[in-house]
Structure 1
Amino acid sequence: MNDIKVPEMGESIVEGTISKWHVKAGDSVNVGDVLAELETDKVNIEISAEQAGVVSQLLRAEGDTVAVGETIGVIGGAAAASAPAAAPAAAPVVEEQKPAVPAAVPAAVPAAVSAPVADTASIPSATPAARKLARELGIDLTQVQANDPLGRIRQEDIAAHGTTAPAAAAPAPAPQAAAPSAPAAEPGKPTERRKMSRRRITIAKRLVEAQHNAAMLTTFNEVDMTAILDVRKRRKQAFAEKHEVNLGFMSFFTKAVIGALKAYPLLNAEIQGEEILVKQYYDIGIAVSAKEGLVVPVVRDADRLSFAQIEKQIIDLAGKARANTLGLNDLAGGTFTITNGGVFGSLLSTPILNAPQVGILGMHKIQVRPVAIDDTRMENRPMMYIALSYDHRIVDGAEAVRFLVTVKALLEDPESLLLEG
């Protein structure tokens, strides 16, 4: 026998969600075959078979949250397929996880069809952990209200039920469950209920935590993009021919941010208890919009990279993000983040900190606007609003404003980026 366990997924990831099983009880597998896919708040991970054999049990179902090191299934030896005791052992577990597919029971134990079907018809769907907790607390599963959209009872439902008075346990759940749904949508109107992905849940949680745990403020400025557009126009073709990558805006902004971070190092720090950890390296996070939600892969040691190297890394990381192939190392760390809402047409926004970082720069759409050149002359210039959100606990307003002014000055004089960035 060989347990199918949730693998180690990096020091910051302690659990995941089974997004898909690629096997079912009774399937033969070889070493290296993909058994399941785990969705975490950062990356998706495949669980592969470590030995050949026959899948005898699946202990957890798709959608279940599982912890690192937890056993979620069992692979038996090659003879497990013909062992008469293997099928009855597998059937109840699969049935608990997927009660909507009772056909699996007659196929496994044809001589005992009536008994399990009659029993399971009245037993609510629940995870193994929930059933165990219910047994320990002496709680009747039929009296527990499930909050899972699929109707499956989980540990937290058992725990919540256990806090209610025993006398009120039976009648209370029904009206409580119905009450929240009434104002959610007008009766008779079309709606669609979607389960949030694990990544979206984590994004939501971290964004709220960032706003609750930091004294976040945002300061704004605007950049005249004339000089950068001129450099790109003059050097774009030669740059692409030499480096096999286009000269984009992100390399300019990355270099400008690094130059400003060197001048104002507290924007490249984080708070640890009552201490400030000032980082003397520049791992710049680049926010990328992917199908499952926003991710922030990191360009490491960006201060040591050329414009071409930065552009290549950003293209590579963005491609991996959209293909959902980012590794943990691509996302870990980061000392400062840049996000570009301009690619979607945003003219102005206030970016939220990527904790534990204390600074994030927001780029926006380039828009031609009339600008006063001097007291007597106006010109139409390609202008971009930029925003710096910062943690006011360690960054003073004056420092934040000067940081953003430095970014502006470096961008409006691109040649200086070679010296300052």
Structure 2
Amino acid sequence: MAEIIVPELAESITEGTIAQWLKQPGDTVEKGEFIVELETDKVNVEVISEEAGVVSELLAAEGDTVLVGQVIAVVGAGSGSTTSAPAAQPEAKEEVKAPEAPKAAPVAEETSNEQDRTIASPAARKLAREKGINLSEISPVDPMGRVRVQDVSAHGSAPTPVKAASAPTASAPKEDDGRTTREKMSRRRQTIASRLLEVRQNTAMLTTFNEIDMTNVMALRSRKKDQFFEQNDVRLGFMSFFTKAVVAALKKYPYVNSQIDGTDIVKNNFYDIGIAVSTEGGLVVPIVREADRKNFAEIEANIGELAKKARDNKLALSDMSGGSFTITNGGVFGSLLSTPILNGTQVGILGMHTIQKRPIAVGNEIEIRPMMYVALSYDHRVIDGKDSVGFLKTVKELLENPEDLLLNS
């Protein structure tokens, strides 16, 4: 018999949430095979079984919070044809002396086992418990058989009039009439919310804006993109230009590449640039390490690799720790202008936005140019207006003259 224990996750993480059981009681598991997916504040972690055998018991349900070192499942010997659970049922019958109790106990146990075997989201399990619904009786819409909140709500809609009459609650009518849907925040979303609020409360955050004429960088990209792809097997995007421009500006204005530690300002002599990536679970910020030492192709490849890992939920904690500055691109969603919020202890973040053609004065003429608004949010405790405006002006000048950017890199 082997116990499945919540492993050490990271120095600052002491607990997680059962996101999904990949094995159910009675399933065969091989040594080294994934058995459960844990959701933490930053990433999801898949836990393996250290022994081969049969899953005999799950000690936590999907949606439960579990601590590092806690036993969450048991793997016993066998081939998967039998488990320890059925053997316990006859013993319960022999021990109970009351004439009606033997009938009730197996029913409750079978119901519990059926619910454990049902694949359901944590929110669906929670709602089913609140409504007293057996998950195994629900017919899910999902072709893979996964029960979701909508399935529980739909299943519970018919009997609610009887329940409401006998045990009304304050919140039940609001949720049962279909006008609202309650969904518990994921652990990651809760963490994002608390950290964003902490940043707003504990920093003197301001935002300054500028606009960039993207004509030259778009023309250069258009001329070089095919050759770039042939030589490097990676596409030339705008993020490498912005990353390089940011690194050059950080070197010129080092306080933007710093952080506060008590009463000290710690200036970073490295350039680990965070690139915000939107995922289904929320915004994550993987790090392009030593961006100052990477060329355009290496930056594009690194960003592409990190973005794929983020979408596939495969980012490790090491992929997101230790950044010195962050770039976020709301333009991919069509945002024209925004004020990005600082990331953790960093004192600066650059917000990119959508490229939009606008009439611009060029000399004494009016021309239609592809323009992008950019925003620098910064901690005014460390950075004054001179540095913040100068930083953003440097980024603007380099991107409007990309040949200079290539020389600087």
Which band: TM-score by shorter chain?
Answer: 0.7 to 0.9
Q: How many angstroms does 1:327 deviate by?
A: 1.9
Query: Is 1:286 aligned to residue 275 of structure 2?
Result: yes
Quick one: distance in 2 between partners of 1:258 and 1:27?
A: 52
The answer to whether the 8 Å contact 2:26/2:82 transfers is no
Query: Is 1:380 aligned to residue 388 of structure 2?
Result: no
Instruction: Give 1:185-264 correspondences, 5 Å limit.
Output: 188-264=177-253
Q: How many angstroms does 1:114 deviate by?
A: 3.5
The answer to whether the 8 Å contact 1:284/1:299 transfers is yes
Aligned equivalent of 2:331:
342
The answer to whether the 8 Å contact 2:28/2:80 transfers is no
Aligned equivalent of 2:382:
394
Quick one: distance in 2 between partners of 1:346 and 1:197?
A: 25
Quick one: distance in 2 between partners of 1:350 and 1:88?
A: 59
Structure 1 residues 81 and 119, CA, compared in 2 at 3 Å: closer, same or farther?
Answer: closer
The answer to whether the 8 Å contact 2:5/2:70 transfers is yes
Query: Is 1:10 aligned to residue 10 of structure 2?
Result: yes
Aligned equivalent of 2:73:
73
The answer to whether the 8 Å contact 1:87/1:109 transfers is no
* Residue of 296, 308, 311 corresponding to 2:285: 296
The answer to whether the 8 Å contact 1:88/1:109 transfers is no
Structure 1 residues 77 and 236, CA, compared in 2 at 3 Å: closer, same or farther?
Answer: closer
Aligned-pair identity in percent equals 57
Letter in 2 for 1:2: A
The answer to whether the 8 Å contact 1:149/1:195 transfers is no
Aligned equivalent of 1:413:
401
Q: How many angstroms does 1:388 deviate by?
A: 0.5
Q: What is the RMSD computed on CA atoms of the aligned residues?
A: 3.0
Instruction: Give 1:3-402 correspondences, 5 Å limit.
Output: 3-78=3-78, 87=85, 109=92, 113-114=102-103, 116=105, 149=127, 151=129, 178-179=169-170, 188-374=177-363, 376-402=364-390
Q: How many angstroms does 1:108 deviate by?
A: 8.4
The answer to whether the 8 Å contact 1:288/1:321 transfers is yes
The answer to whether the 8 Å contact 1:348/1:364 transfers is yes
Quick one: distance in 1 between partners of 2:208 and 2:80?
A: 66
The answer to whether the 8 Å contact 2:206/2:377 transfers is yes
Quick one: distance in 2 between partners of 1:287 and 1:203?
A: 13
The answer to whether the 8 Å contact 1:366/1:384 transfers is yes
SS of 2:217's partner is helix
Quick one: distance in 2 between partners of 1:380 and 1:79?
A: 71
Q: How many angstroms does 1:401 deviate by?
A: 1.2
Quick one: distance in 2 between partners of 1:291 and 1:107?
A: 46
The answer to whether the 8 Å contact 1:31/1:50 transfers is yes
The answer to whether the 8 Å contact 2:335/2:353 transfers is yes
Q: How many angstroms does 1:200 deviate by?
A: 1.8
Structure 1 residues 116 and 304, CA, compared in 2 at 3 Å: closer, same or farther?
Answer: same
- TM-score, normalised to structure 2, is 0.78
Higher deviation after alignment, 50-59 or 216-225: 50-59
Letter in 2 for 1:262: K
Quick one: distance in 2 between partners of 1:82 and 1:297?
A: 44
Q: How many angstroms does 1:2 deviate by?
A: 2.6
Q: How many angstroms does 1:28 deviate by?
A: 4.2
| Structure 2: gaps of 5 or more residues | 97-101, 110-125, 131-167
Q: How many angstroms does 1:180 deviate by?
A: 6.4
- TM-score, normalised to structure 1, is 0.76
Structure 1 residues 77 and 281, CA, compared in 2 at 3 Å: closer, same or farther?
Answer: same
Deviations along 1:60-88, one digit per CA (max 9) or x if unpaired, are 111111111111123344599989xx548
Structure 1 residues 151 and 383, CA, compared in 2 at 3 Å: closer, same or farther?
Answer: same
The answer to whether the 8 Å contact 2:56/2:85 transfers is yes
SS of 2:283's partner is strand
Q: How many angstroms does 1:244 deviate by?
A: 1.5
Quick one: distance in 1 between partners of 2:235 and 2:22?
A: 40
Q: How many angstroms does 1:29 deviate by?
A: 3.1
The answer to whether the 8 Å contact 2:92/2:105 transfers is no
SS of 2:46's partner is strand
SS of 2:300's partner is helix
Quick one: distance in 2 between partners of 1:282 and 1:12?
A: 23
Higher deviation after alignment, 248-257 or 21-30: 21-30
Deviations along 1:187-222, one digit per CA (max 9) or x if unpaired, are 845332223222222222221122122111111000
Quick one: distance in 1 between partners of 2:49 and 2:107?
A: 35
